[in-house]
Amino acid sequence: MQCHVCKSKVLPVISFGDMPIANNFQTYNSINDYRFELATGFCEICALFQIIEQPDPSKMFHSGYPFFTGLSSTMVAHFKKVADELIKELKTSTTDPFVVEVGSNDGTFLVNFVNAKIRHLGVDPSKNVVELAKSRGVNSTDVFFGELTALQILKDYGAADVIFGANVICHLPNMEDFAKGIKILLSSRGKFVFEEPYIGSMIEKTSFDQVYDEHIFIFGVTSVARIFSRFGLELVDAVRQETHGGSMRYTIQHQGVSSKSSRMQELEKQELEDGLLDLSVYLGFAEKCEEKKQKLLSILRQLKQKGKRIAGYAATSKSTTILNYCGIDRNLIEFIVDSTPEKQGTFTPGSLIPVVSDNDLRMKEIDYFVLFAWNHQKEIIAKEVSKGNSDFKWITFVPDVEVLS
């Protein structure tokens, strides 16, 4: 049990038990029962919460990767706003800027740079999403980002004025290779901007479903500053974001280029006060996970006993952790609706609950929907209301297990 970053000893926090790969949706023809233990730990040196054993990345990111950023209108709007801010800044500060996105998925973020006629490159190991991005005019390549890729990009395009990443840096087990790549590719005054689910939000809300194979790290301001300082890079700014149920946007530059923003220093102070640098907070979190599991199971069982019919809403990656940790199967949740065509007609990993379209007629017969995409609550409920489904009842489990009124 070594920290993935500093190799010192990791202190155990909680194990969620045997898990399948979160995005390994099953079909009749290809049942894949690969499992790994989803155990978590905390490194006191890096102040970093992490999963201990990580499956082989090629099992997670491949040509069948079923996640498409562009399916959420909230995320499309969010990335347009970030892109517009960066474009404005680049146009005044740099002639012929160059922007790289790590984990560029379907090009939702970079398409804004296509429209602004700014040189760009998307890097993503999943071929299917890269093809989709290319079809939208986004210059993209299907490789993993690291030192070697950075050297190649530097040779082909020159240094990057902005490197961006969203919900992807926490996927990378080899922080050393990654950070060296950033150090190589970033121009002298360039900015590496990335956003990820925030440890402070996960602890506040006991949103343990943020923990799954792809999320090796749940970062905080202190841990990000410590990690990148090992590689001659400096965290200079951090801002909280609403996305993914509570994220943080980090800005990193070469050491000594800019001074640390005061809002970032405030956040560092807050993390210290909230105990995010100490194991005890994480052990308290582990207890709350167990309580939440029992409470959710008891509500679902009570409703079932009353003869109520329950379905799930959105077969998110996060739902794999909650379904398998709680041992929920189709006896409790009949099916899960999801708008992703690639997920429809499949079964959820491990729990084998059928995934159907979010226009499935059987939705009308359901009494309660468990909202697995709790981070998209507003968008989803508004969508169902606009479809005439204002009578749907919703069960959420973040921050607390409750039936929404």
- Least distance from Zn ion to the Cβ atom of residue 41, Å: 10
In the complex with ligand TMP, the residue whose CB is nearer, 167 or 223, is 167
141 is in the binding site of which of Zn ion, ligand TMP, none (Cβ under 5 to 8 A by kind)? Answer: none
Looking at residues 8 to 67 of the shown chain, list those that interact with ligand TMP (rule: CB under 6 A).
none
Q: Least distance from C-beta 277 to Zn ion, angstroms? A: 12
For ligand TMP, the binding residue among 60, 380, 395, 398 (CB under 6 A) is 380
Residues 297-336 that bind ligand TMP (CB under 6 A): 314-317
Is residue 5 part of the contact set for Zn ion (CB under 5 A)?
yes
Report in angstroms how near the CB of residue 294 gets to ligand TMP at its nearest.
24
Indicate which single residue of 45, 76, 116, 297 sits in contact with Zn ion (rule: CB under 5 A): 45
The correct pick among 45, 71, 148, 286 for binding ligand TMP (CB under 6 A) is 71
In whole angstroms, how close is the CB of 298 to ligand TMP at the nearest point?
25
CA nearest to 283, candidates 180, 373, 201, 203: 203
Closest approach of ligand TMP to the CB of residue 359, in Å? 11
Q: Which is nearer to ligand TMP, 54 or 320 (CB)?
A: 320
Least Å from the CB of residue 73 to ligand TMP: 7
> Given the rule CB under 5 A, which residues bind Zn ion?
3, 5-6, 43, 45-46
> Given the rule CB under 6 A, which residues bind ligand TMP?
71-72, 314-317, 338-340, 343, 358, 373, 375-376, 379-380, 383
